[in-house]
Amino acid sequence: MKTIKGLFAALAGVLLLSSTSTIAQEQTRPEFVTITTMHWNMDNKDFKMEEWKAVEKEYLDKVTMKNEHVVAASFYLHRMTPDNTELVYVQSYPSWEAIGKAATRNAELEKASWPDEKARKTFLKKRDAYYSPMHSDEIYATMSNAKPMTAKPTLDMICYVRKGHFAYGDGTDEEFDAISKEYFDNVTNKNEFIKGYYPMAHAWGSDRTEFLEAYFFDSMADLEKMFDRDTELFEAHWKDEASRKSMAEKGAKYFDNRHGDYIYTYVAGLAK
């Protein structure tokens, strides 16, 4: 059922790949998300997590929180991923144009917050010293059928990311829309262990087939419980084997069988 769950959750946003105007029509959510995968500077022998948090908190308060072009921003630390040196920085924006404007605004706010050039360079150098020069950037388009968190978290959370890939073949927009919404309404949205769910599709980057689903949980235990609860909800809505098989067959042509799983710690104190 884990495969069935991921399969149908993926369908929640496929329609937007062929119709970006749908995104623009939904003014209640950001339009784009940038994901920067960074790496710790492993040569920094004096690294202390609390000191890193303090530096990033200062930048958050003085710059990011005041940047009107950034809707949200957050850090994610490696928990179960292929590379223990990585950390991920995510920002969301109301439009494509806002991405460029945000960078310009950051520079303005940095000068305003540290008007003395020497002090500003010292702080930014200290901040940069935590990270390796190597990083990668991807931009994703947000999707419908998200389950936003009801309040900004005050404690660290578990973030489970499922990276899948769309297949481009037979199918119709109408069928996409119908089966994705039906699954979301009756399974994902009803699963009480899922505190937040955010689907995203590739907009700019290395792989146009990429599809990301970010799930938020209070604990690792709740992540495990999600799968069993999904099964219960799935079987409660599609009550017989024939209807379950029909749903699976409809969805199968819209994605391929590749996916990757990643688990991060969402850092509550470093989020906008």
Give pairs for 49-54: CB < 8 Å, separation 24+.
52/130, 53/267, 53/269, 53/270
Contacts of 97 (CB under 8 A, 6+ apart): none
Taking residues 86-97, report their average pLDDT.
98
Which pLDDT score, from 0 to 100, does residue 59 have?
98
pLDDT of residue 251: 82
Binned at pLDDT 50, 70 and 90, residue 167 comes out as: confident
Banded model confidence at residue 250, pLDDT cuts 50, 70, 90: confident
Res 203: pLDDT: 96
- Looking at residue 174, what is its pLDDT? 87
pLDDT score for 2 = 41
Please give the structure tokens belonging to residue 24.
């623009």
The b/e string for 219-229 (b: 16+ C-beta within 10 A; e otherwise) is: eeebbebbeeb
Name the average pLDDT for the chain. Answer: 90
Given pLDDT bands bounded at 50, 70 and 90, which one contains residue 232? very high
What pLDDT does 53 receive? 98
Confidence class of residue 172 from pLDDT cuts 50, 70 and 90? confident
CA 187/CA 237 separation, integer angstroms: 8
Q: Where are the domains of the chain?
A: 27-169+195-219+257-271
- The per-residue pLDDT for 25 is 38
**What pLDDT is attached to residue 249?**
87
pLDDT per residue over 58-79, tens digit each?
999 999 999 999 999 999 999 9
What number of CA atoms fall less than 13 Å from residue 62's CA on the CB side?
Answer: 18
CATH architecture type of domain 27-169+195-219+257-271:
2-Layer Sandwich (3.30)
pTM of the entire predicted model: 0.88
